[in-house]
Structure 1
Amino acid sequence: MTRILFPTDFSEHAREALRYALPIIRQMQAELILLHVYTISPSYAEAPAFALGEEVELQRDRTLARLQGEVTRIREKSPGQPVEILARLGGPVHEILEVAREERIDCIVMGTRGASGLREFLIGSNAARVIAQAPVPVLAIPPGNTFKPLREIFFATDYLDSDLQALGLVLRLARLFGARIRFVHVRRTDEPNAEAQLQAYEARVRDQLDYPHLTFQLLEAESVQQGLEHLSQQYPDAILAMCPQRRGLFERLFHRSHTQSMSQHASHPLLALPVPSA
């Protein structure tokens, strides 16, 4: 069974993200692992060992009780959903990554707190740090998203063959919902033979992917970020998939003058795919 990890801080942002994710989890017939990472007050740093131990146990019990309350909410919306709860002491990013490895997690789903733009989201949040290091795909869900059946999944590409090795979850979601996978390349003004490169990439993808609903598109824009934001306005219910760990695309995504202000917000769910090992 597919195992999906959902870290929660019990905030409304987290609950909103989980409401978005539950239809996907149900459709995948996946097991949900609900995690909360708790900390101990610095005032216990010099406390006797017995006092520290009592506080750790108290916080753990409180966390498990709150997690059980979340399970009750989940079962009200999704009866029969398999759910496991975990409480861990430590730093959120470290513990999320450790649990992902120890529990053989297939995908991490988490809410974000609404960074002011795609760039700020990817470089300025716990979700960003998880994405940068996670060994599995991460679906990051900004505030304000209400799930609707998937019809479009964008995949931002720089025509690398290794993209195809990262597409497993994208292809699975597309098949489950009958969604179109739209491969998107944002063309730089100085990029030669862009149409020929896209056609060659399309031929390679169609040769390797057995899926009928594929579209390939060039976007003209000053930056990758601007191009993807423009496309997202046309398809407000889509998911954006990409390999942000890949240095070249990451740098192109965020290459823009510091004098340009962010006019859009990172509103689409982002499916971050780990770069396949060489």
Structure 2
Amino acid sequence: MKRKILLPTDFSDNAWSAVDYAIKLFKDETCSFYLLNSIALKVSTMSNFSNSLLKVMKEKAIEELKELKSEIEAATNNPNHEFKTILSTLDLYDAITYEVKTNNIEFVVMGTKGATGAKELFFGSNTVRVIKKLKGCPLLIVPNEYHYVEPRQLAFPTDFKIKLGEGELQILKTILSLYNSQIRILHINEEEELSEAQEANYENLKTQLEGYNYSFHWMPEYSTKANEIKEFIEDLKIDMLAMVNHKKSWIERIATKPVIKKIGFHPFVPFLVIPA
């Protein structure tokens, strides 16, 4: 079955890092990659723009998409991969949501921030909005200037507060299967012991991951979650961080903050956000 992967791009270096990562991640899979560019942001910052100017902007974006597609095809030369270009006048989040539904996209891969992103912020405002709002489709966020490493070690922090089914875990199982990876499940002990519901979800997770290479890791709550996760990534040489984004989850809380730098959340490996 052909995978359908959406690659939003603003033609920045960070966007290129995300495109490069996605292509290499699925190098042995048959894929259709959709290169999406939104010009809505550019238009919204201009007042009294004419139809002729908008036409010029569209033509320029279309040309840049064609050039990007040609560069990728020449660089990868993978017969299992095809590339399609999409120009949208919707804002980035709405454009992504529309394409996910229209083209049955199963995976979105994008950078942490665009060409105009403030240097002091790890996530740009567009990325934060997509993290917070995108439902029903996994989102992989690739750090700026990240050089591809096969995801052999995955970190999966969880509070065991929701029951995870086949739908939520499918993308993780796909990556585990592709690279015979190990998934290291991290629980930071905010409580003295798990509740009955948490115990049930813990047992369910073991059942769901039967046949895969997994291990559980329990850490005391001695610092912020961001710091503990960062140390876990460093100590175990993690290649990808994955978390489930559900109501009242930690991801949802940090995604509402205007300046994520204050949270100290700067994952330096690709960050997989899984919708619940």
TM-score (norm 2): 0.82
AA matched with 2:32: E
Q: In structure 2, do the counterparts of structure 1 residues 89 and 227 end up closer, same or farther at CA, with 3 Å as the change threshold?
A: same
Deviation at 1:161, TM superposition (A): 4.4
Query: Which range moves more in the overlay, 159-168 or 87-96?
Result: 159-168
- 1:99 corresponds in structure 2 to 99
Does 2:166 align with 1:168? no
Structure 1 counterpart SS, 2:131: helix
- 2:155 corresponds in structure 1 to 154
C-alpha RMSD of matched pairs (Å): 3.0
Deviation at 1:175, TM superposition (A): 0.5
CA distance in 2, matches of 1:11, 1:252: 28
- 2:62 corresponds in structure 1 to 64
Structure 1 unaligned blocks of 5 or more: none
Give a deviation string over 1:111-164, Cα, whole Å, max 9, x none. 1138789xx646x52112112121300001111321112111111211134333
Structure 2 counterpart SS, 1:26: coil
- 1:74 corresponds in structure 2 to 72
Deviation at 1:200, TM superposition (A): 5.8
- 2:28 corresponds in structure 1 to 27
Q: Is the 8 A contact 1:144 1:267 kept in 2?
A: no
Deviation at 1:273, TM superposition (A): 0.7
**1:92-241 pair list within 5 angstroms:** 92-113=92-113, 121=122, 125-135=125-135, 136-164=137-165, 165-188=167-190, 191-194=191-194, 201-221=201-221, 222-241=223-242
CA distance in 2, matches of 1:253, 1:262: 7
AA matched with 1:167: L
Which consecutive aligned stretches of 4+ in structure 1 deviate over 4 angstroms post-superposition? 114-117, 194-202, 251-254, 260-264
- How many percent of aligned residue pairs carry the same amino acid? 22
Structure 2 counterpart SS, 1:154: strand
Structure 2 unaligned blocks of 5 or more: none
Aligned length: 260
Give a deviation string over 1:1-36, Cα, whole Å, max 9, x none. 211000101011111222222111323322100011
CA distance in 1, matches of 2:126, 2:62: 22
Q: In structure 2, do the counterparts of structure 1 residues 227 and 42 end up closer, same or farther at CA, with 3 Å as the change threshold?
A: same
AA matched with 2:127: A
CA distance in 1, matches of 2:7, 2:23: 10
Q: Which has the larger radius of gyration?
A: 1
CA distance in 1, matches of 2:148, 2:89: 32
Q: In structure 2, do the counterparts of structure 1 residues 17 and 106 end up closer, same or farther at CA, with 3 Å as the change threshold?
A: same
AA matched with 2:242: A
